[in-house]
Chain A
């Protein structure tokens, strides 16, 4: 593993341990995507092979069949303590949102339900700064109020690996151990550690998925990258953004910001 990846790995392990030590009741989101699997791997490293808190899959019931197969296989193989949560029907979601975003917002409500039910004070989420403009503004330990709202204009200071963990009741903390990773780092790490991923990421008939979401609002990108090495090579030159296949990002100029300020990941 090269020095840069080693540093990212160390930073993430440190964040995991800091979270486990400082926040009473935490869980980790497992979306079955590449980043999420890297996160599970890093948690194994942080806690010597046994993750001491549950994983949560907020299931929209609209994922690809390959993703469900992957979930069922690795839940067993990795011996995970997995909570499967469901999402409300789209009719229950804010109708002012454009269609794909409205659909994606089901996941926010599904997550809120789990948080309430299990009284989690912290949730580990695999977002990265390079994915998307508003995610670039995130803190590693990012508080959300009772409604899940993110106050982007008044985020707590965070420096020298010091953060505040002491928030009023009802507030939960989003924990972001992959914030400093890039898409290419993720793939290099998957390669170096031989971490399994869903094979939808690899090119079939000139197309592959760069980012996985609900199947009705996610589309593949043009690509001939059939394996990890080819993906890494492709990413070194591409100017297509990672989430270009995610319809929810492109419906309105500021839709992702709207989703996130209401508690989306």
Chain B
């Protein structure tokens, strides 16, 4: 036996085609010819067939389930391991019955080689075309076409050519290339593992040779790094980011970019059990720690800074709809793409495609098994790629409450990349005539953000309330944004998970900015546990921002427990409670610290009041 370098790789083959055109029979025949039927199985099945008064068919070898034999059709995706002299394969037997498109997709989505089989006697049928179209949506660009049941048409070349021409016309239209067009008979065994003498006019190779020579490596821009964050583990005192490299490779010295936060960071270490390597490639699962404590979350995409993914909130997609319930434009769906999950709605159906004629249909709303072009919108920014640039980070599925309802591939040309939009000039702020200077001179103070951070129960609200009252009485234009109050309105619905806390802080920081625009000194009283998020809040207008650390030990806060929350958190009745079940990162260099454990409240209030007057009053 000849040794090949890549012999270890096992291509996955999917066989699709209309019902009864011979998919299962082909696999059964191949197993039989390549001597891979377990001893006694062939005889056993022949006996069973006789008992039931049926002719034996090679498909029976696969249809291991009784239900299938009773119905005579394949129910679900079956995978059969299989070897030729050159290499091993996995055959995915995709069912042809109309009801079972979702199973075909489940099988075909991971295929390396696609075979489209046509009954040359019956010709091209609806499912032949539909399956071919779905292969295209799954990213398959070339197929091996088989013209089965040649024995039924007496190996007639003209008939073969006629069906072949029809099929090629269709495939060309949907941009799929037919690599080989093999006339076969699965039943008789023509052109399966050996060249058929009855089909002398065919000058190509039999199927097994074609498979053995098939090159499965279709590397598409493999040098672009995409590392979607699958999870973050705390192992001893390390924060390990885990995921799988979908494309490209990572070296230890690399600078990385995290999307959507757009922050650059360096790798501190690779982590692997029992021991890490120095470089990781496409397909590798790995763990890494970062040199800076930036906020990284599940679903973020890590890339190299010069080739980031796009950041989209609206995009077009080709969808295949899998659910009995039809698409609902008023409904919210969950979109899963790589390791990210987002809430989206389908804003518009551009068209529903008739996969037979490839024309747009008159239908307005996609139903089960329909293929459509739609526009999808999310209120969050989704890091992703265009399907033609990078396949793996461009395909997604949609779920309603508890099932996958659709799959799709994204096309990003017609909607803007939000990352560029933020920094470029598509949105121009309008300048108004009343300026900051006008406001400041009327109020006798500049505007500012007093950002009070600290544990629950450290005294933030109490101090904020007092300082607001005192400054107001001195004619300051002052207002308190309190975390708890905001959660009753603007931030209602946000939980205490890391991502929702981030959003909570982002919104609060933006509102605080609006208050500064209006000339206010705004006191923000918010636990805001993450350094990185407080930094983002500062970065909006650093010149106006002052970070105040309201300091008190956890023990003291638990002792005070004004709202009774610590007790609940300790009993695990509250999830993600800062200090108990969620982290608090204390400020490294706050602009002012008030220590409520050491100082009386009046003292802290006075300290902060003087600080604000000192920092923001306009001295006449």
Contact = CB atoms under 8 A, between A and B. Distances in A.
B9 A164 contact: no
A240 B38 contact: yes
B404 A156 contact: yes
Given A130-B79, A168-B402, 16 more contacts: A4-B9, A10-B284, A14-B285, A17-B230, A44-B273, A48-B271, A137-B76, A152-B65, A153-B67, A159-B109, A159-B407, A160-B396, A162-B404, A166-B399, A180-B90, A254-B65
B176 to A, nearest CB: 19
Interface string A159-180: 1101110111000000000001
Interface residues of A, number: 50
B588 interface: no
Contact of B242 (A2, A17, A137, A156): A17
B78 A136 contact: yes
Contacts of B298: 21
A116 to B, nearest CB: 22
Contact of B103 (A48, A157, A163): A157
Given A134-B65, A160-B407, A182 B75 contact: no
A14 B244 contact: yes
A58 interface: no
B450 to A, nearest CB: 38
5 closest cross-chain pairs (CB), A and B: A133-B64, A159-B109, A4-B8, A2-B8, A157-B102
Q: Most chain-A CB neighbours within 10 Å: which of B8, B48, B75?
A: B8
Given A48-B273, A157-B322, A159-B109, A130 B244 contact: no
Nearest to A188: B8
Contacts of B64: 132-134, 136
A200 to B, nearest CB: 23
A164 B10 contact: no
Contacts of A166: 399, 401-402
A5 interface: yes
Contact of A159 (B38, B105, B285): B105
28 contacts: A2-B8, A4-B8, A10-B283, A17-B242, A17-B285, A21-B230, A48-B233, A48-B271, A129-B79, A132-B64, A133-B64, A136-B64, A136-B78, A137-B65, A137-B78, A152-B65, A152-B75, A155-B76, A157-B103, A157-B404, A157-B407, A159-B110, A159-B407, A162-B397, A166-B401, A168-B402, A180-B90, A239-B35
Nearest to B90: A180
Contact of A48 (B10, B76, B283, B287): B287
A214 interface: no
Interface of B: 6, 8-10, 35-39, 48, 64-67, 75-81, 90, 102-103, 105-106, 109-110, 138, 230-231, 233, 235, 240, 242, 244, 271-274, 283-285, 287, 298, 322, 336, 395-397, 399, 401-404, 407
Contacts, number: 131
Main secondary structure of the interface of A (DSSP, over half): loop
Contacts of B274: 49
B110 to A, nearest CB: 7
Nearest to A140: B106
A86 interface: no
A157 B106 contact: yes
B446 to A, nearest CB: 47
Contacts of A164: 399, 402-404
B285 A136 contact: no
B321 to A, nearest CB: 11
Interface of A: 2-7, 10, 13-14, 17-18, 20-21, 44-50, 129-130, 132-134, 136-137, 139, 152-153, 155-160, 162-164, 166-168, 180, 182, 239-241, 253-254, 257
B302 to A, nearest CB: 16
A146 B399 CA distance: 22
A50 B234 CA distance: 12
A240 B407 CA distance: 40
Contacts of A45: 272-273
A241 B76 CA distance: 22
B9 A130 contact: no
A109 B77 CA distance: 28
B390 to A, nearest CB: 13
B273 A4 contact: no
Nearest to B39: A239
A157 B105 contact: yes
Contacts of B404: 156-158, 162-164
Contacts of B35: 239
B80 A136 contact: yes
B459 to A, nearest CB: 36
B273 to A, nearest CB: 5
Contact of B81 (A130, A132, A162, A240): A130
Given A48-B240, A49-B274, A182-B81, A18 B230 contact: yes
Contacts of B230: 14, 17-18, 21
Contact of A239 (B38, B75, B78, B110): B38
B331 to A, nearest CB: 15
Contacts of B9: 3-4, 7
Contacts of A49: 273-274
B103 A5 contact: no
B325 to A, nearest CB: 14
Contacts of A152: 65, 67, 75-76
A146 B273 CA distance: 37
Nearest to A239: B39
B76 A20 contact: no
